[in-house]
Amino acid sequence: MTSVQQMQRKPFLKIPAESGSFRFRVYTGRQLDKIEQIRALPQEQQFAMRVVANVLPFRVNQYVIDELVDWNNIPDDPMFRLVFPQAGMLTESDFALMADAMRRGDKQEIRKVAADIRQRLNPHPAGQRGLNVPHLKDEALEGIQHKYRETVLFFPSHGQVCHSYCTFCFRWAQFIGDKTLRFSAKEAEHLHHYLLQHPDVSDLLITGGDPMVMKTNHLADYLEPLLRAEFDHIQSIRIGTKSLTFWPQRYVRDADADDLLRLLEKLARAGKHVALMAHYNHWRELETRVAREAIRRVRETGTVIRTQAPLLNHINNDAGIWARMWRTQVKLGLTPYYMFVERDTGARQYFEVPLVRAWEIYREAMQQVSGLGRTARGPSMSAGPGKVEIQGISEIHGEKVFVLRFIQGRNPAWVQRPFFARYDEQATWLDQLQPALGEEKFFFQDEYDAMCKGEISPRHYQQKQR
């Protein structure tokens, strides 16, 4: 008996059909006042939420409202802050600009103020619209990013939305309705052709938005052709998703849930390493019955679930939260993968944590878990040059320093090479750090600057140097 047959025979959870939490109903910024729990909040707080929602994207579904948010702990509940806009997510000056525009009620002015504020929020960090966009016969391929040699990111047009939006999302510009700020690809042919032209690519990451908002037949159009012999160099298929938190019914009760599981199993049985790159920000997201059932069913297909999240002020800036989350994930058969530093975009001033504190939380959390939980790397900054990990704080020749290394780099030769930055209690991102030990610049700086200026093509590093 195959695992798919076994899955078909296992009963669904006994959840009443009339339960609103298990019918997909979504609310956006225009429907904030339709949410019963929001209407019970003070008018001043509701207005502040609408102000922020006019700048940053907002979307939440009934399952998140009913099953994840603790409405007895508002505004401090971490799930509330994860999905609902908070006044502190804009600077005081930007908040005032939008609030005044809303009070005047001129829709054109509101749109203009929103657009101006967004441009100040660094909508595309780390060279996403320049250095990361690949070319095929000198034509830029929209909807594809190729930053690291072995890994290609693909943004399917059907997956450029999420079941709910995270307030910290570093891809928030995807969701505000401005097509000039979006990544998406309408057709699979460009992707497949590009992969055929790059035999050194071993990993494909389907991302978005969230690819798991797509119907299974659309996802199959992108993935099933990769089973042909000419794509044998694609060893791993990763799918970045928050669906295991925001809509676990995708794997349990949706009309094509079993079809999705069969697709994952088909890819795994054909020899592909299939991984859901699951975003979990707090252990609470793992506690509902349907979330655990979704995890069980996914794992039975042979799919690996790897977990990742940024360290976020107001949500998970506590070692105990991370330790409990990692222990729970290991218990459920998930693999802790990354602790990220909140990116330098969007509502960063609300969520960012100094690098010193980030390393302390990571270290303290690691001390509370077994070796199986210590697979999570971090704290890691997904910066312009690459993924830079804070390995620790040390003292060399009497100078206190950050010990850093590249986990990934635009030039693969940078990977695993340690380097040092001056200790700085206030720094929250790589570009705020200065070289230590008398060095004038970091070892990679000249080469990275040349890439940014167009003097060195990023494509130079996307094939192995033979």
308: Cβ–Cβ under 8 A, 6 or more apart, which residues? Answer: 277, 278, 279, 280, 337, 338, 339, 340, 376
Count of Cβ atoms closer than 10 Å to residue 231 Cβ: 17
Q: In this structure, is residue 110 part of a structural domain?
A: yes
Q: Which tokens go with 461? A: 């590093």
How far apart, in whole angstroms, are the C-alpha atoms of residue 414 and residue 142?
A: 27
92 found inside a domain: yes
d(CA 204, CA 104): 48
d(C-alpha 51, C-alpha 99), whole Å: 6
Closest listed residue to residue 161, CA positions, set 127, 191, 184, 188 = 184
C-alpha gyration radius of the chain: 22
Yes or no: say if 427 and 433 are a contact pair by the CB < 8 Å rule: yes
Centroid of chain to Cα 54: 22
Indicate whether 31 belongs to any domain.
yes
Phi-psi region at 83: left, alpha or beta (left = phi > 0; alpha = psi -120 to 50): alpha
- For residue 119, give every residue at least 6 positions away whose Cβ sits within 8 Å of its Cβ, in sequence order, or none: none
Determine the pLDDT at residue 460.
Answer: 74
Cβ distance 233 to 202 under 8 Å?
A: yes
For the range 34-41, what are the long-range contacts, defined as Cβ-Cβ under 8 Å and sequence gap of 24 or more?
Answer: 35/60, 35/65, 37/65, 37/69, 37/71, 38/84, 41/74
pLDDT at 448: 94
Helix/strand/coil (H/E/C) assignment for every residue in the chain: CCHHHHHHHCCCCCCCCCCHHHCCCEEEHHHHHHCHHHHCCCHHHHHHHHHHHCCCCCEEEHHHHHHHCCCCCCCCCHHHHHHCCCHHHCCHHHHHHHHHHHHHCCHHHHHHHHHHHHHCCCCCCCCCCCCCCCEECCEECCCEEEEECCEEEECEHHHCCCCCCCCCCCCHHHHCCCHHHCCCECCHHHHHHHHHCCCCCCEEEECCCCHHHCCHHHHHHHHHHHHCHHHCCCCEEEEEECHHHHCHHHHCCCCCHHHHHHHHHHHHHCCCEEEEEEECCCHHHHCCHHHHHHHHHHHHCCCEEEEEEEECCCCCCCHHHHHHHHHHHHHCCCEEEEEEECCCCCCHHHHCCCHHHHHHHHHHHHCCCCHHHCCCEEEEEECCCEEEEEEEEEEECCEEEEEEEEEEECCHHHECCEEEEECCCCCCCHHHCCECCCCCCCCCHHHHHHHHCCCCCHHHHCCCCC
Domain count, the chain: 1
Structural domain of residue 113, as residue ranges?
Answer: 19-119
The answer to whether the pTM exceeds 0.85 is yes
Tell whether 230 is covered by a domain: no
Residue 368 maps to a domain: no
Sequence-distant (6+) residues with CB within 8 A of 296 are none
Pairwise CA distance, residues 310 & 316, whole Å: 9
The confidence score (pLDDT) of residue 14 equals 43
User: What was the pLDDT predicted at 55?
Assistant: 94
Q: Is residue 70 part of a domain?
A: yes
Profile the chain (466 residues) by mean pLDDT over runs of 10 residues: 43 44 87 95 96 95 97 96 96 96 94 93 70 80 90 90 92 68 69 93 94 95 96 98 97 96 98 98 97 98 98 97 98 98 90 97 98 96 96 96 97 96 97 96 96 84 60
pLDDT at 181: 52
Would you say residue 72 lies in a domain? yes
Bridge-based pairing of strands 144-148 and 151-154 is: antiparallel
- Beta-strand pair 399-409/386-396: antiparallel
Residue 141 resides in a domain = no
The alpha carbon of residue 38 and the mean position of all alpha carbons in its chain are separated, in whole angstroms, by: 26
Size of the chain in residues: 466
Strand ranges across the sheet with 273-279? 144-148, 151-154, 203-206, 236-241, 273-279, 304-311, 335-341, 377-382, 386-396, 399-409, 418-422
Residue pair 461/149 in contact by the 8 Å Cβ criterion:
yes
